[in-house]
Amino acid sequence: MDRLDNTVRPYAWGSTTAIPALLGTEPTGEPQAEMWMGAHPGAPSRTGRGTLDEVVAAAPERELGTATVARFGPRLPFLLKILAAGAPLSLQVHPDLDQARHGYADEERRGIPADAPHRNYKDANHKPELICALTEFDGLCGFRDPEQAAALLDGLGVPSLKPYADLLRAHPEDAALREFLTAVLTADPDDMSRTVTETAAACARLGGAYAPYADIAHHYPGDPGVLAALLLNHVRLQPGEALYLGAGVPHAYLSGLGVEIMANSDNVLRCGLTPKHVDVPELLRVVRFRAADPGVLRPEASPDGEEVYATPIDEFRLSRYVLADGAAPADLTRPAPQILLCTAGTVRAGDQELTPGASVYVPAGEKAEVSGTGTVFRATVRI
């Protein structure tokens, strides 16, 4: 069992206080957005045996187990994070596996540098993800019903929004959502900036259901992503609740602290709320234009005390244990790699004492017992 020393990424949208408060450290005054736990080459966790990607590469079957290597190849299939949003993240979608493989191969063939600002596909993998709230957590997830979105636009009383509301009512669901997003992202920038400014003022004046969009517009004045955001469901998670975000589902995190797990990929296509590249044709190819309930997840308890967040993919499996003082240790041993993360209390994992924010990596098959008083999240694969 290896104690992990993890990198905190200072993205501009990060909270300056949430991760320090969890870790019990003093804020630096700089944003601390994400703490990465895993073997991603961008910021691999450090262990006493080297970085975790080096550890896995040296002996994949010993570290990951034969079944994991046979199913996913010789690398850790997931990346675990603590995410602290102090401002809205970009509105984005992720490709499915076939789209990622095709897009990556195409950009490689065309010789687009891996670090080029206009590159869409950093790798050939998909990026399903799950966010579990540690505090109250706000986000946007999935399309509203077009009629409901049109009624929301009407309620703002902004004349320049009427053509967009009419688009939503003029077509069947798929075409209505596609036409709206296309119109927003291809509009004249000056006209769009004026419309967004008027929309932001109306959202701020009306408050209520419009308040989250007023805050988004405050952070991204004039950005067409503000109108795109009005198409999406606003979700407020309570601690312990989660959202699963599959391929093609537009989403954005707005505020709060959470545990996030994803397939080991960097592939993101942005819809707005960002100064970064927005590739409209590729985005429209990847987005799934259908309205859906966001589907808030609550953990499913098993007799041994494990609470599992059920998802339809195999690259990751997230669960938690809420441990009570004096209870028998929970045996977490399994033939697959694991990362254990403490988020509350004081927990013993093997010979390691974990306090909030501390984590360990457990190679496949290694004995893993946890005890104490607190909460431990368990990240592994489904095999």
DSSP secondary structure, 141-173, as one string: EEEPPHHHHHHHHHTTT-GGGHHHHHHHHHS-H
* Residues whose CB is less than 8 angstroms from the CB of residue 62 and which lie 6 or more positions away in sequence, other chains included: 363, 364
The CA angle 184-188-190, to the nearest 5 degrees, is: 110
- CA 133: distance to chain centroid? 11
pLDDT on residue 326: 81
CB atoms within 10 A of CB 266: 17
pLDDT greater than 90 at residue 325: no
The pTM of this model reads: 0.94
Rounded to 10 degrees, the C-alpha dihedral 102/105/111/117 comes to 50
In the block, residue with structure tokens 């946890």: 370
pLDDT value, residue 211: 96
Residue 157, exposed/middle/buried by CB under 10 A (0-12, 13-18, 19+)? exposed
Calculate mean pLDDT across residues 324-344.
94
Residue 192 has a pLDDT of 96
> Is the distance from CB of 269 to CB of 286 less than 8 angstroms?
yes
DSSP state at residue 70: H
Q: Average pLDDT, stretch 136-150? A: 97
- Average pLDDT of the segment spanning 191-215: 96
Average pLDDT over residues 308-326: 95
**Rounded mean pLDDT of 301-330?**
93
> Distance (Å, rounded) from C-alpha 187 to C-alpha 208?
28
- Candidates 331, 341, 326; CA nearest to 372 is 326
Question: What is the share, in percent, of the chain residues with pLDDT greater than 90?
Answer: 92
Gyration radius of the chain's alpha carbons: 22
Average pLDDT rounded to a whole number, residues 153-166? 97
pLDDT higher than 90, residue 383: no
Interval 131-153 mean pLDDT: 97
Pick from 82, 85, 120: nearest CA to 101: 120
Positions marked catalytic: 270
What does DSSP assign to residue 268?
-
